[in-house]
Amino acid sequence: MESANNRDVKVSLVHQRPPIWRNVAVLKWLAQFAVLFTVLGLFWLLASEAQENLQRRGIPAGYNWLSGPANFQLGEGIQTVDSPERRLTMSRALWVGMVNTLRVAAIGIVLSTILGVFIGVSRLSKNFIANRFASAFVETMRNIPLLVQILFWFVILGSLAPLAADSGPIPGWLIVSQKGISIPRVFLADGFYQFVAMLVVFAVPLWFIRRTLKRRQDDLGGNQRVTSTTVAYLSVSTLVAWFLNPVMGFLGGVLDSVATAWNAIPAQIIRGLFGVLIIWFAGARIRSLLNSRRTPVGFAKLTDNDWFQMLFTAFAAGVAALVVVRFRPGITTWFVESVGNFWSFLGAKFGDGRGAQPIDAMLPTLTEGRFINISNTGLTMSVFFASLLFGLVFYTSSYIAEVVRGGILAVPRGQSEAALALGFTRGQMLRKVVLPQAFRVIMPPLGNQYLNITKNTSLGIAVGFSEIVQVGQTAYNKNSQTLAVFSIYIAFFLLCSLSISAVVNTINRRLAIVER
């Protein structure tokens, strides 16, 4: 009787899998799929309704208009009008707007970071003037709307003196006028690609030398002068590569052969390789998940959530491979043409750059005629570009300054006291002790400010800067393709935001403290 009772207790203690309608993992995944299909269905319904309404009004829906002529002139960019070498199509005009957006966003991110770090550190300075100036800057800039600041700079720059033969303030070096701001321009010359190839050749022995010195330092101790040796080697290598770069000119023919061989590959093979690559990435994702569940005695028991993740990854990879290989062969065609053009471009650069110097520079100049204009010899910012850039930099740097200040204050005071006790100067303490630890706190909100800069470039439409939104507005005013243009907006800014988030998250993982 006692043994039977014990047996009943043991049976009751055995974990039993709940039925599928009560399984939390199953219900969670079903809910996610339901929301996903509901959202996709809603988008499909709205898109179908919009397409039907456009067709009823006689407006063709689709993206065929992208290959048509733009029939308008852009204010600035890599191409503004039709040229004998390349037509200015609608797609090309939108691409010019994207490049302008990326250019102002990239420059704004760099300048606002530098200025924000400087202002944030100055707010903690014991120097009265630096502290008060930084505080006034932050409190002023972050409390004035960004659009007002952009318009303010546009009015200021637009009220400058007109161009003259002696336009200054530093004629020949710095030109500031109603037409824009121009400074000396440093650019990559035809010999740059051979120069980089020669540096890559020199980098191979540098890697071995640095690795040997670090291993010797770990084994024997002492100062093996790893940094000074690396700097000296790089300096000598750069000097030698500057004069010997024509030696690498033979790579032009090699790269042309690579382009020819690549273009000769049948598109069917490329599509098959794409499908295999997608399946391989899915298999690597599943293998990584299994390895994360591995224990010293083997695999741990997989949960329902793990099984759903693996099944969803396999399903998504299968659908993606089927779309690329079977239903959308144009994707691979575009990829093949782009890669072939890339190798041809490098081959031409290596062939044309024999004997040319890697880097060159030109001073800003003026072209005189019926009207005096700034020539394209210098690095010129138009009034539209400069007003948008200045507004973004000063506005965003005020927020970055507060982020930096908060990150520095988050570092325990004992760290700086210990650094000063070891004989560090205040500058060394800040660079080598405080800021490296503060950036662990700073990076997440700093990434948000980078996203804000990229998205706020759309305010350039207020001053007529030819960024993606302004170019898109001109495009849909001409052909009434509002829905298609806005879908391009969404895809472009979504791609930019996801790319910036990926970079910031990677830096976050590298800065994180690894526990042992």
Question: What are the pLDDT digits (tens) for 438-464?
Answer: 888 888 899 999 999 999 999 999 988
Q: 419 Cβ partners below 8 Å, 6+ apart? A: 428, 429, 432, 433, 434
pLDDT exceeds cutoff 50 at 13: no
Percentage of the chain modeled with pLDDT above 70: 87
- Bond into 205 cis (ω within 30): no
Q: Which residue has the higher pLDDT, 273 or 166?
A: 273
pLDDT at 101: 94
pLDDT exceeds cutoff 50 at 157: yes
Structure tokens at 341: 């053009």
Q: How confident is the model at residue 330 (pLDDT cuts 50, 70, 90)?
A: low
Q: Which of 394, 398, 400, 382 is nearest to 448 (CA)?
A: 400
Q: Picking from 96-100, 175-179, 253-257, 300-304, which range would have the lowest pLDDT averaged per residue?
A: 300-304
Q: What angle do CA 182, 184, 190 make, to 5 degrees?
A: 125
pLDDT tens, residue by residue, 85-125: 788 888 888 999 999 999 999 999 999 999 999 999 899 88
pLDDT at 450: 93
Q: How confident is the model at residue 7 (pLDDT cuts 50, 70, 90)?
A: low
pLDDT at 78: 84
Section 323-333 average pLDDT: 67
Give, rounded to a whole angstrom, the gap between the first and last alpha carbons of the chain.
Answer: 52
CB atoms within 10 A of CB 376: 13
Residue 387 near residue 379, CB atoms below 8 Å: no
pLDDT at 222: 65
Residue 153 near residue 386, CB atoms below 8 Å: yes
Helices 90-123 and 468-479, interaxial angle, to 10°?
150
Residue type, 96: V
Q: Which residue has the higher pLDDT, 33 or 147?
A: 147
pLDDT at 24: 72
pLDDT at 168: 61
pLDDT at 267: 73
Section 241-260 average pLDDT: 79
Section 328-348 average pLDDT: 72
Q: Which of 277, 279, 281, 285 is nearest to 332 (CA)?
A: 277
Residue 431 near residue 473, CB atoms below 8 Å: no
pLDDT exceeds cutoff 90 at 57: no
Residue type, 315: F
pLDDT at 391: 94
pLDDT tens, residue by residue, 475-510: 888 887 888 888 889 989 999 999 999 898 888 888
pLDDT at 98: 92
Tell me the pTM.
0.74
Question: Length of the chain, please?
Answer: 516
Average pLDDT of the chain, as a whole number: 81
Q: How confident is the model at residue 331 (pLDDT cuts 50, 70, 90)?
A: low
Label residue 313 exposed, middle or buried (CB < 10 Å: 0-12, 13-18, 19+). middle
pLDDT tens, residue by residue, 227-240: 788 888 888 888 88
pLDDT at 449: 93
Section 30-36 average pLDDT: 83
Q: Which residue has the higher pLDDT, 401 or 18?
A: 401
